[in-house]
Each structure stands twice: as structure tokens, then as C-alpha cells.
Structure 1
Amino acid sequence: MYNGIINIYKEAGFTSHDVVAKLRGILKQKKIGHTGTLDPDAVGVLPVCLGSATKLCDMLTDKSKEYRVRFLLGRTTDTQDSSGQVLTQSPVTVTEAQVTAVIHSFLGDYDQVPPMYSAIKVDGKRLYQLAREGKEIERKSRQVHIEYIHIEELALPEIAMVVGCSKGTYIRTLCHDIGQELGCGAVMTHLERSRVGEFLMEEALPLSEVEQMVKEGTIDGHILPVERIFADYRKVTVDDRFRKLIDNGNAFYEDMIMESGACIDGESVRVYSQDNRFYGIFAYSSYEKRFKPVKMFME
């Protein structure tokens, strides 16, 4: 079984679930999970967790993301992108200076109302399922964070930009909200996710390349070990005399580790045995003077 994270380039026409299903066939294993849904028409980075790394899925969805997006002013649709049914069309009379100012006004925290065509669940049902039934319900806004926006092209009514943002941000909704603020509406026409945390577009592999690498026996070099995700965490080695504790996923006391130095309350660390086997992430409690398991990755 493969264990680790592989950076997949999701092509247009595939859902994120399609990618997982195809990888299960290519890698001949069931234990696979993706780290954040991309719309079928969107392309780009989709980190996929394999084997023991599936425990990382929820942690990787928290990572910041970067998108390259194109959108068109003067139109709105029910899906907030160009694939949807047109709701309104308006003349675009705004200036480039006005557009630039409005775009930059979205930097920082802002309250975003999720679109109806999204995978968010309400009362056990996905919003997009309700939308396909012709229903629209009130959605609560959620605070998202726009870290940066770089305008790449301003050829009104078309705009291209790069957006760095927090988890849970809907880029088509950002485009829609910019259009609403300008008074003419807007629809997203193209979306590419160029980064998820440390996973970059330049290193993402299309499924066809993964399939070829599996046949050639070279895929292992493209699977990131779980522990690399936590490279900025301090390494802690448990003395072999107490190895049974971590073998069973139990907490251990600070005097059971090989390293010297002060332990910090609440600090998360990477835990290893003396033969350098990675066990998982533990957090230190100064009150209890011991390290307690957070996520275990042993097979």
C-alpha cells in the first residue's frame, strides 16, 4: 500500500471524487482521500492522501490556497460562473480605476455568503442538490480571508487575477461579489488552483502520468511522506525502554525522550522511535508534564 501525499493536477471535466476513484484503480488500493473539492470545470492542484496519510485530509483542507481566475463583468448566472443560466445582463460603464479599487477593497477578512451551487450541507442535503431542484434557501455568511490579489489583466469587461486566500473561500463568489459592488454583476469564466499550502502547480501530476509512473515503478519518488508535512515541528525521540507506549498510541512523559531542552506547553512535535520510525504528532502538556497523541500515522 502507498502511504503519503501525491500532488495531482485535476483536469477539466473531472470531479475531485472522480480523481480519487481513478487513482484507486491506478494504485490498486482503496484507502485514498482528497483534500478539498474543486468544481468539475476547474483545474489545478489537488493533493490526494494515500493510506495512513488519509488522516491528514482534514488538516490539509486548512491550508491557504492560491488561484488564477478570469471573470467577465456585465452578467450574472445562477451558478456564478459561465456554465450557469444567465440571470441578468448589464452594460459595463465602470473605469479601470474603479474596478481596481473595488477588487482591492476585498483584501483582508470579509463575510462571504456561500453559493447555492456548492457542496455545503444543510439539514443533511447538499446545497447544489437543492439548487438543482429549483430551491434556494437562506445561507449564513462565513468569514473568509483574502491574503492578496494581483491583477494580471484588465481588459474590460474581462479581468484576470491571482488570489491568495483562506480555506472555505469560493472564488466564483468573490468574482460575483466584486460584480455586485461595481453594480454590473460578474461571472467567473476560468479557474485554476495554483497552490495548496506547499503543493505547487509546477509539481502536479496528471492522472495519465501517474498511471505511466506506476507501470515504470517510479511513482514512489513522487509521493511525499507524511512526516514532511510537519517538517517545521520539533523532532522528539522516545527512548527504546518506553517504546511500548508509542507502539500502543499512548502518552509519554518528558523524561522518556532522548532530546534535552525545555518543553513548551501546547507545542506539537513529531515523535520517533530510536530507529527513526515516525509515529505521529503529539502535543505537550506542561500541567501533566507529558506528550499526548494528536494524530497517529503508524500502519
Structure 2
Amino acid sequence: MKPHPGPEEARRPASDIRVFASSCTLHGLGHVFGPGGLTPRRGLWAAAVLLSLATFLYQVAERVRYYGEFHHETALDERESHRLTFPAVTLCNINPLRRSRLTPNDLHWAGPALLGVEPAEHAAFLRALGQPPAPPGFMPSPTFDLARLYSRAGHSLEDMLLDCRYRGWPCGPENFTVVFTRMGQCYTFNSGANGAELLTTPKGGMGNGLEIMLDVQQDEYLPVWRDMEETPFEVGIRVQIHSQEEPPTIDQLGFGAAPGYQTFVSCQQQQ
């Protein structure tokens, strides 16, 4: 039988922790903070609760530490391939338009945006190109096609390509596909466009890839008229090696090949 609480103890309100412990579902907490003084039984319950809490915190800390070690398993499946698909190779002349092909009509429509040439500067720019100024009473055409401008005034691969060989076999402009980028009219080798069969190679190294010789046509480069975002200050070819599924972003991912030098490029494919 439990002794009845005295008059003072009965009048005293229960503490918040005792009220919480009596209604809490955490096993053992109600036995620790029950009414009455400290007894051996309450001490054993308190020791059991503290031991359980310490064990729980230790397991949590151990799992957090284990997670922080980032254990992982890597499964490697190595397969030998005797023939690999050759990547696409996109070439762009750093100069977007040939000076001998520009006309007063081109300057009227595309001069401010592409070259930074204002209408009042057309005559001076034409003189810098070595061309006569626009005739008196010149009237620009009512329509203008930027793609036709790049196709007509851009560097032609037939004029730039001096020699082309793939794995020792001759190739030519017919093996390239015209593609338009932010650098103008460019050319992609082994693009796979129009259902063309993709070229393959059995191994890497010299003689097993693409070898080309190009004429950058430096005499056709435009004069630097004004410093703009698209103003080229270099001479050479911009190159990007990419997969056939990836469109060329040669202005961002391409690398330069300087004239007068041989440039050797090796690459690896990662999947």
C-alpha cells in the first residue's frame, strides 16, 4: 500500500516535468519523475533511461560518422572494342566574312551589327577594304538574308582546303557538312547528317584519324574597325571535336589552330 500524501504535499501543485513525465509515452520516464522522494527503485529507472539514451545517441553518432566516410562500391565492366566511331570535327575560320565579297548593300544591312560600321563610315570602310565607294544614288535592296550573306561572303571550304586525308585515304569538301554557328559559316567532318554512314577507326595515333591542310586566306581578313564582342583579333582556324549528337558550340568550346604550324590533337571518349 502506498502512503497517503501529507496535507502540504497534497496542496502543492505538481511540477511541469512531473506532469510531462506522467503523460509521456517514453518508457521509464514516468517512473523517474513520479511523486515522492528519491528511492533506489527510482534511481535504477533513471540509470536505465540514461543508459538507453546514451546508447541511442552513440548509434546516431556512429551512423553519421559512417555516412560521412562515403562508402561506395564501383562495378567495372571492361569491354574491348576493335572499332570506334570517329567523332565529328567542326572547323571555322576565325574571320567570318571575306573582304572581297562584301558589298555596299551588305554594309547597309549588316554593317552596324556584325562589323560595328555605322552608315556614315561606309565609304571609309570600303576604302579600307580596297573597294570603290557606293555609287551615287545607291539604293539598298528591300530584303536581306543573313544566311545568304555568310554563304556568299564567308570562307569557302573549297578554297581553304588544300589537302585532306582520313586514315590515309583522300577526302575532300564533299565529306564536310555546312553548319552555321555564332562564328558564321563552318564545316563539320563526319557529321552523320542526311543519313550518312559514320566513319570508324580501329585505333588511335598518327595515320588513323583526320589529317587536313588549310589555307586561312589571311589576305581576305576584315580590318579591325571597332572593338566589339564579335571582333576577331586573331588569325587562324577554330576547331571543336564533339559527338554527332552534340551541336557545335565552337565559340565557347573550340580551340585555335594557328597558321604556319602543325597542330596535333588526341582525344578520349568517356561514357
User: Normalization by structure 2: what TM-score?
Assistant: 0.22
Larger radius of gyration: 2
More helix by share: 2
TM-score normalised according to structure 1 size: 0.20
